[in-house]
Amino acid sequence: MQVSIVCTEQNLRSRISEDRLCGPRPGPGGGNGWPAGVGHGNPPGGGGSGPKGRAALVPRPPAPAGALRESTGRSTGMKYRNLGKSGLRVSCLGLGTWVTFGSQISDETAEDVLTVAYEHGINLFDTAEVYAAGKRSSYVITTKIFWGGQAETERGLSRKHIIEGLRGSLDRLQLGYVDIVFASCSDPNSPMEEIVRAMTYVINQGLALYWGTSQWGAAEIMEAYSMARQFNLIPPVCEQAEHHLFQREKMELQLPELYHKIGVGSVTWSPLACGLITSKYDGQVPDTCRATIKGYQWLKDKVQSEDGKKQQAKVMDLLPITHQLGCTVAQLAIAWCLRSEGVSSVLLGVSSAEQLMEHLGALQVLSQLTPQMVMEIDGLLGNKSHSKK
């Protein structure tokens, strides 16, 4: 079961004197539930490779710890959006720590990334439950339910697993409730009515405040919403979906319609297609990239496949635009995802504070993406989604 954390803007201000993220780095084993060592001062500089002029797109260093307040985003350019049409506010860029807290980097580096993200206005953290057991009032915490243990009753979206899995997660996190529980992956073995009733039950019991879906199809989300309306139950508020320059149809054709019809928003992940959308490959696999790590053979195969080579060629075609904007390919790709209608937040996967600082520069690229420039990008990619109606 995975866990996400959202630090609400209101509580950023109210908990300044308590959270180690906002103060000096304490000694090991400090007491608020975040990893020991989280909370040092200035982050590393802009980092990342790219054309000259990109430095202007890197956010300024964070303010001193005592100055961190509700308006954090104002000094860094961070924007906040509603999660779908709910009242929950999340940063438009989140941190997806499936890379940051992976085994290939040190705990200290991971903590540095987390601190830099927090200090630069990111309040949405999608991560494992390893460090989420903290003081409850500062964070909006979400958990994903689908993959549990090995037994048949310990996975899927049956009423039994949803309720027991959530309670087990709360016990591990030492929490009374989570803010959002996500049904991760659709489950053909569980009737939709059972899923919606189970989600409504955990909300009514005070175990969660909202529920959402992850990697569901548009028809399944609409079915869940219709089921909720038919039986006076609680519908989902958002969908987590993969979205990048080469994965477009769901975000361009399906989810915007759901956003307007029923208010379901989107939290997207993999804006760089697991690192494929950078200029570092250029027809080969560098020794320092993720594709060379044990367990990532699938990524190396993807890079070296015919489709992968064609996509890399398309990425290189974007370089004139990045030079025109004075940004990196990664910044352009992230900003391109942010412009999509109904997107509440784009989750970043980074392995260093320098890489995170570079990616945060996408906020300034977003303001420069004119309709004409978007049309030029669509023309170079040649894969814009078109409605079949």
Question: Cβ contacts of residue 136 below 8 Å, gap of 6+?
Answer: 175, 176
Look-up of token digits 């987590």: 240
Q: Where are the beta strands (DSSP E) in the chain?
A: 2-7, 80-82, 89-91, 93-96, 124-128, 139-145, 178-184, 208-214, 238-242, 265-269, 343-348
In whole angstroms, give the CA distance from residue 104 to residue 124: 23
Whether 259 is catalytic: no
Does residue 153 contact residue 14 with C-beta atoms inside 8 Å? no
Of the candidates 131, 139, 225, 281, the residue annotated as catalytic is 131
Question: Cβ contacts of residue 301 below 8 Å, gap of 6+?
Answer: none
Q: What is the DSSP string of 290-311?
A: GGGSTT-HHHHHHHHSHHHHHH
In whole angstroms, give the CA distance from residue 170 to residue 42: 33
- Residues annotated as catalytic are 131
